[in-house]
Homo-oligomer: A and B are copies of this chain.
């Protein structure tokens, strides 16, 4: 049995689902992977809690479900303590968690608080598993270098299409391949909207549906204007294609200008209109990166990727064309992808 002590930053939908998951899968994790997970610290926007004997996942969950902060945890709560302060304190108290689980809210302007939390985590000698794209989109190369210098490990398979193993396929399965092209539908909200519009809904009604499902952001521009897809493309370009990339390297155009008419006409012509992330290998070995609405022939695998589905196509030199698609929704698969990374780090 390996005991893995973790510190959690972010206890929203994903963090909460992670707590549910490790409770529900406790027996399976022990028998199948020899893994016991102990949550020694947790921080949210209201404060933190930490304890040398571990926090009870069920009690943390109950606090969140009643609208309270982890800081209200009996005997261990630290009202107003930030995640950074928590990390310093648990270090001083020798709690020594091995891994940080970061699922705090995405911020794409400055990446905080996730970015500083991650820098501190690596400097303190912990590994990290991320569900939060922000720090990677803004500072991928810095974080990759820092983790190398500190001899620590970063995992972030949840950040691009959650349970769809976009990165694992690219890095662990397409081994020794030259990737000629990578194409993907990475944002389920925009794909849902396009599918609903092609079936006759107005843009506004389709967006409202997505928001009612709780999947679209209240400010939907991140999705609609293609930035969410582009952010995921940035992470894949860095991690799978090996090309140092920031958001400025991606040509981005969203679906705001698409009309129902466009979608119906495209379908009448036996094709589909989709918001596609594309990495195309150029003659010099670099990749041209773009996100834009594309007309795809009906037999294209992404043309058959509808509604909430997300998908990725890799075109390679020695392993043919590999396509993978996921049909899932909600925070549970994202939390499951974090658990996958944790097992990859400590149970191989």
Contacts and interface: CB of A to CB of B under 8 A. Distances in A.
A343 B318 CA distance: 15
Interface in A167-216: 168-169, 172-173, 175-177
Given A165-B169, A176-B28, A176-B29, A321 B326 contact: yes
A160 to B, nearest CB: 13
A229 to B, nearest CB: 19
Contact of A164 (B165, B322, B332, B333): B322
Given A165-B169, A168-B172, A339-B176, A323 B324 contact: yes
A32 interface: yes
A25 B320 contact: no
Interface residues of A, number: 41
A328 interface: yes
B318 A21 contact: yes
A182 B165 CA distance: 17
Interface of A: 21, 25, 28-29, 32-33, 163-165, 168-169, 172-173, 175-177, 299, 301, 304, 306, 318-329, 332-333, 336-337, 339-340, 343-344, 348
Given A163-B322, A165-B169, 6 more contacts: A176-B340, A176-B343, A318-B336, A320-B326, A321-B326, A322-B327
